[in-house]
């Protein structure tokens, strides 16, 4: 009797032990499966986030081709290559022992950009103009260095809103060349449609508090153009530049600006003001290689003196249009 009871108890102990072992094994596997899932999903999120990080860094420097870093306890590597408007992006992320790869192909396109209607586009009613010396406004198509003018792709020297303004500026025809000296275009781009975004995304800002700016200043390069904002909105304290300024990209001037040094800008110059103003290219042989877009209240004036020049360049404008901060992306292919 006692022997049978012992055997029964022993059998139950073995039975429940097996059940407990089975439950423990199931819990262990469930825990491993859960942790494995967490590792994979974390690696996936790191991979996705790393593409956003890469595109953000690319907006600051268009020459970046490889980005690596740490994120959420893991690591990532992103490679980028672009062929014209197509960008290939490959992200490899790792979290613990899990690796996740994303291969994508993006369409790259610039945001709206002022139409290059002329070497100088004056979106000003009753626009004024002052010329002294031997300045030049040339709508022939120069290269990005301001050399090798060509009639291929040439534009008018100056475009204005009305035939009245064209007639008033006709006396300056000797200083203007291009596909035609003067053109009337009532649909000229308005600087107001672009300046807010350019100001918000500026890489460099020059204000009256730092004025006058002396010495030589260089902004960007041919391969890495930048956005520079000169904030002269305070008419009592204009921004003054007495040194040399050289740059590639987009130069935005708001309000009052005095240049007594040299300037050599390759790209787009946008000048805008809410009050009547004079934009003056006078001393120091200033050059704009690209185009000038100017807008403001009726009676605002463009002044050119000495040997200042505005030379149209589709190449310089193309570089400015494709600044990283002004690009948008559309997903063509995405593989995970």
Task: Give the pLDDT confidence of 33-65 residue by residue, as tens digits.
Answer: 455 678 888 999 999 999 999 998 888 777 788
State the DSSP string of 175-200: GEESSSSEEE-TTPPPTHHHHHHHHH
Mean pLDDT of 22-34: 51
CA distance 259 to 211: 11
pLDDT of residue 12: 52
For residue 270, the cross-strand partners are 252, 293
Which of the pair, 244 or 237, is modelled with greater confidence? 244
In this predicted model, what pLDDT tens digit does every residue of 245-287 receive, in sequence order?
A: 899 999 999 887 877 778 899 999 999 988 888 888 877 689 9
Predicted pLDDT of residue 332: 95
| pLDDT tens track for 202-226 | 999 988 887 788 888 999 999 899 9
Encoded tokens for 62: 């268009």
Rounded CA separation 243/231 (Å): 17
Query: Which residues touch 195 (CB under 8 Å, ≥6 apart)?
Result: 252, 254, 270, 272
- Overall average pLDDT of the 58-78 stretch: 88
pLDDT of res. 270: 95
The pLDDT of residue 30 = 47
Among 221, 220, 216, smallest CA distance to 203 is for 220
Token pair for residue 86? 């197509």
Instruction: Identify which has the larger pLDDT, 25 or 186.
Output: 186
Residue range 131-183, pLDDT digits in tens: 888 999 999 999 999 999 999 999 999 999 999 999 999 999 999 999 999 99
SS3 146: coil
Say what the pLDDT of residue 226 is: 94
What pLDDT is recorded for position 208? 81
Query: pTM for the complete prediction?
Result: 0.82
């Amino acid at each position: 009797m006692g022997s049978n009871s012992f055997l029964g108890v022993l059998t139950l102990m073995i039975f429940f032990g097996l059940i407990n072992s089975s439950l423990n094994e199931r819990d262990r596997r469930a825990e491993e499966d859960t942790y494995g899932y967490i590792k994979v999903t974390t690696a996936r999120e790191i991979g996705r986030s790393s593409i956003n990080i890469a595109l953000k860094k690319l907006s600051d420097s268009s020459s970046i081709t490889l980005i690596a870093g740490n994120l959420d306890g893991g690591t990532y590597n992103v490679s980028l290559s672009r062929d014209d408007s197509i960008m290939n992006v490959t992200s490899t992320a790792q979290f613990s022992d899990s690796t996740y790869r994303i291969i994508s192909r993006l369409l790259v396109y610039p945001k709206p950009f002022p139409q290059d209607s002329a070497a100088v586009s004056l979106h000003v009613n009753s626009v004024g103009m002052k010329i002294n010396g031997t300045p030049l406004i040339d709508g022939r198509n120069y290269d990005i260095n301001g050399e090798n003018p060509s009639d291929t792709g040439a534009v008018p020297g100056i475009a204005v809103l009305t035939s009245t303004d064209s007639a008033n500026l006709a006396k300056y025809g000797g200083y203007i060349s291009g596909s035609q000296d003067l053109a009337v275009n009532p649909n000229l781009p308005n600087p107001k449609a672009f300046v807010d975004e350019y100001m918000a995304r500026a890489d460099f800002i020059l204000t009256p508090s730092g004025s006058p700016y002396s010495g030589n200043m260089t902004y960007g390069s041919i391969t890495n153009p930048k956005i520079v904002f000169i904030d002269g909105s305070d008419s009592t304290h204009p921004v003054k530049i007495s040194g040399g300024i050289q740059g590639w990209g987009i130069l935005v001037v708001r309000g009052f600006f005095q240049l007594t040094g040299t300037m050599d800008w390759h790209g787009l110059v946008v000048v805008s003001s809410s009050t009547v103003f004079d934009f003056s290219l006078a001393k120091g042989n200033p050059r704009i290689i690209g185009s000038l877009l100017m807008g403001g209240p009726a009676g605002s004036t463009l002044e050119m003196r000495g040997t200042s020049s505005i030379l149209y360049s589709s190449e310089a404008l193309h570089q400015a249009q494709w600044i990283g901060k002004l690009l948008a992306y559309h997903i063509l292919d995405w593989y995970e």
